Structure 1
Amino acid sequence: MSSAPAPTPPTPSEPGPFMSLHTALVLLIAVVIGLIVGGLSFLSGTPAAGAVLAGLISTGGSVPVLRTLIG
């Protein structure tokens, strides 16, 4: 009695990167912009909390713009 060889299970493919290069570049530039805006706000006499808020707002606001510009 001959039997056919058992099928071999498929080998798992290697997972892709956690984050694409485009996403990493956009987020990195957005953080740099936020740090610059926050630092300049603080140096101009804004209280620290206001400077942090300005940096966060500029970081979040620059992400969609950078996403369309860097393509």
Structure 2
Amino acid sequence: MPRTLLTTRSALVFLLAILCGIGAGVLSGVAGLSTAQAVLSGAAGFGFSVPFFNALID
């Protein structure tokens, strides 16, 4: 059996963090921020979501 790149838990944490980052970026864009600001808020949402979901899913 080949070794996987990520565990299921890690993949779930990253998936949830990516979804939160996309949501934050889209909501920022809809709110009228510039594209650069929306991308930065999405990246910040992703960055803060990873440790949150890592602690939450144990």
- TM superposition score normalised by structure 1: 0.77
Determine which structure has more spread, i.e. the larger CA radius of gyration.
1
More helix by share: 2
- Please, which runs of 5 or more residues in structure 2 have no aligned partner? none
Q: Are 2:13 and 1:54 equivalent residues in the alignment? A: no
Q: What's 1:39 paired with?
A: 26
Q: Percent identity?
A: 38
* Number of equivalences: 58
Aligned with 2:3: secondary structure?
Answer: coil
Q: Distance in 1 between matches of 2:4 and 2:39?
A: 31
Q: 1:3 aligns to what?
A: none
Counterpart residue number, 1:69: 56
2: distance between equivalents of 1:55 and 1:67?
18
TM-score, length-scaled by structure 2: 0.94
Please give the root-mean-square deviation of Cα atoms over the aligned residues, in Å.
Answer: 0.9
Higher relative contact order (CA 8 A, sep 6+): 2
Amino acid at match of 2:18: V
**Consecutive aligned runs of 4 or more in structure 1 exceeding 2 Å deviation:** none
